Amino acid sequence: MNFTRITINPHQMGGAPCIRGLRIPVATVVGMVAEGMSEAEILRAFPDLESEDIREALRFAAEAVRERALPLVTAG
């Protein structure tokens, strides 16, 4: 998958994936979505973001999870 809006710079935000070189980490955007914020609320909180930034952040997060085996807790 090709990500054109996600940048990783070891000299910015500790190398965390960010949106378009801005100091807005992908994890922050994904967390806002997870907390139930609407796209409009996120865009108001970060006026430099665009709708496509949010969508690509979610695609990036989905791909990152696909890359790892996550430990599952079984009910028991």
First to last CA, the chain: 38
Angle among Cα 73, 32, 29 to the nearest 5 degrees reads 100
Residues 6+ apart with CB under 8 A from 13: 23, 25
**Could you read off the pLDDT of 41-59 as tens digits, one per residue?**
999 999 999 999 999 999 9
Give residue 68's pLDDT. Answer: 65
Specify if 36 maps to a domain: yes
3-state class (DSSP) for residue 6: strand
Q: How many domains does the chain have?
A: 1
CATH number of the domain residue 15 falls in? 1.10.10.10
Give residue 44's pLDDT. Answer: 98
Largest CA distance in the chain: 47
Query: What is the residue range of 48's domain?
Result: 6-66
pLDDT tens digit at each of 76 positions of the chain: 789 999 999 999 999 999 999 999 999 999 999 999 999 999 999 999 999 999 999 999 999 888 666 666 666 5
Measure the CA–CA gap between 18 and 57, rounded to whole angstroms: 9
Specify if 1 maps to a domain: no
Specify if 71 maps to a domain: no
